[in-house]
Amino acid sequence: MELTELTITQAHEGLVKKEFSAFELCQAYLARLEKKDKEISAFLTVTKDSALSQAKKVDDMILEGREIPVLAGIPCAIKDNILVEDVRCTVASKILENYIAPYDATVVKKLKEENCLILGKTNLDEFAMGSSTENSAFGSTRNPYDLSRVPGGSSGGSAAAVAANLCLYALGSDTGGSIRQPASFCGIVGLKPTYGAVSRYGLIAFASSLDQIGPITKTVEDAKIVFEAIKGGDELDSTSVESKIANFRVPAARVQISNLRIGVPKEYFIKGMDPEVEKVIKEAIKKYEEMGAKIEEVSLSHTECALPCYYIIAPSEASANLARYDGIKYGLSESKGKDLLDVYLKSREEGFGPEVRRRIMLGTYALSAGYYEAYYLRAQKVRTLIKDDFDQAFKEVDAILTPVSPTPAFKLREKITDPLTMYLSDIFTVSVNLAGLPAISLPCGKVGKLPVGLQIIGKPFEEEKILAIGEILEKA
Ligand code: GLN
């Protein structure tokens, strides 16, 4: 097998058995990246030198006969809104084009403690706002399955990099679907953890009550390994909790398919959904039934409010979070302004792209005096109703199955001029963030040559269970 086609477990075994060195593994990926990424454009920064020296370090450990952690020497990529010390972190925005991260995000620190090997930083929609990676200030990423299509977004660079074998796994972030939807479009696995399961320290904030970092991998097992490495409470993020999640490497209670009750929400099979996608999803659900799971219809009755609710709350939080980019504290500065206000305005006008400006305007409007109650406060109440729907459903079932997206990967430029159509592609993913739940996206079939993902939603901190449920389908 090619070195660039291995999973994490296979690569780790190969390193331990000295079938190849970490240096060879790293070189194989760098060579492929150099060749292939010309057409895919998944990477914004490649950290070749530090990757190669890290590989040598891991090889030394192996030569000394030391036991290496499972992620040691395994080439990975990091979404460019997560800080890696001394490496440029752009959030795909002109405003941070030359910003060098002064410290490691907690997730990166944890990966480094495992002697991880970082190949570089991946493209995204500017400030993670988008569903296609076309909102990047540095050009679009392309879908490895069809170069005329988008990889999804906003973690499109991470998903395309894993799908095209440019790295073994990647980190993404998910505020309203940005791990799951690109994973679905690129035919790989994406896990959006429970809110608070993974530290957000060092993640450039978009909407702080919704953002979570998670793994993008080729297999469910790999997702478990990466999640295991990055999860846990962090005193630098007061919303993170030391999770009750079991240690995956100790064989935990296996999920018995015959004891499994799986919910299918009737509100998720809607008009406007691609009938071919619906067919693939329904076949996957049927497979679970054939294997012995009990399938029940559940109702998440506020589903139709989720998208409008998300598009009030996320922009409101974004408008507050992005106030710090003023041309003084960080990044791009248009210092030729006639006074301080002018510097602020000019820097922001120069630095932010159209979608980011649209969100800031939406959010500022929703939070302004006189409108706050009508929009923001009401959206918060709806958010509670959405959460209540899930609590109710989870009294009856162990997990909920839905599509990830109403369509497979769409064409580049197809939706970019119509923001509302673009927002509609988040219809099945945003509720999970509003409710703070864990969910995975896993490939379950194809429409033509394009992959389709199944979403498995679980109760808070039941990552282990949804991953096990996913593994059952993956093996079938
Ligand atoms: N597509 C959604 C948005 O544009 C979600 C983005 C995300 O999860 N970061 O807001």
What is the residue type of 237?
Answer: D
Whether the CB of 152 sits within 6 Å of ligand 1:
no
DSSP assignment letter at 377: I
- The reported pLDDT for the residue numbered 250 is 42
Chain centre distance of CA 315: 18
Number of folded domains that form the chain: 1
Residue from 131, 154, 184, 240 carrying the catalytic annotation: 154
Whether the CB of 439 sits within 6 Å of ligand 1:
no
- The reported pLDDT for the residue numbered 246 is 57
Tokens linked to 198: 């993974």
Helix, strand, coil: what percent of the chain each, to 5?
40, 15, 40
Ligand 1 centre from 181 Cα, in Å? 9
Is residue 165 within 8 Å of 218, Cβ to Cβ? no
- The reported pLDDT for the residue numbered 251 is 47
Give me the CATH number covering residue 253. 3.90.1300.10
- Label residue 370 left, alpha or beta by phi (over 0 means left) and psi (-120 to 50 means alpha): left
Distance (Å) of CA 163 to CA 159, 248, 458: 6, 24, 25
Does residue 155 have an active-site annotation? no
Block means of pLDDT (10 residues each) for the chain, length 476 residues? 95 98 98 98 98 98 97 98 98 97 98 98 98 98 98 98 98 98 98 98 98 98 97 97 63 74 94 93 98 97 97 98 93 87 94 98 96 96 98 98 98 95 95 98 98 98 95 93
Whether the CB of 131 sits within 6 Å of ligand 1:
yes
* Phi, then psi, of 298 in degrees rounded to 5: -125, 165
Domain that holds residue 250: 1-476
Is residue 386 within 8 Å of 305, Cβ to Cβ? yes
Tokens linked to 115: 């002697």
Whether the CB of 363 sits within 6 Å of ligand 1:
no
Q: Which residue has the tokens 């998910």?
A: 174
Is residue 474 within 8 Å of 442, Cβ to Cβ? yes
- The reported pLDDT for the residue numbered 374 is 95
Q: Of the residues 131, 133, 307, 421, which should be mutated to test ligand 1's pocket, given the most ligand atoms within 8 Å of the CB?
A: 131
Does residue 154 have an active-site annotation? yes
Instruction: Using the Cα atoms of residue 234, residue 236, residue 241 and residue 245 in order, give the sign of their dihedral.
Output: negative
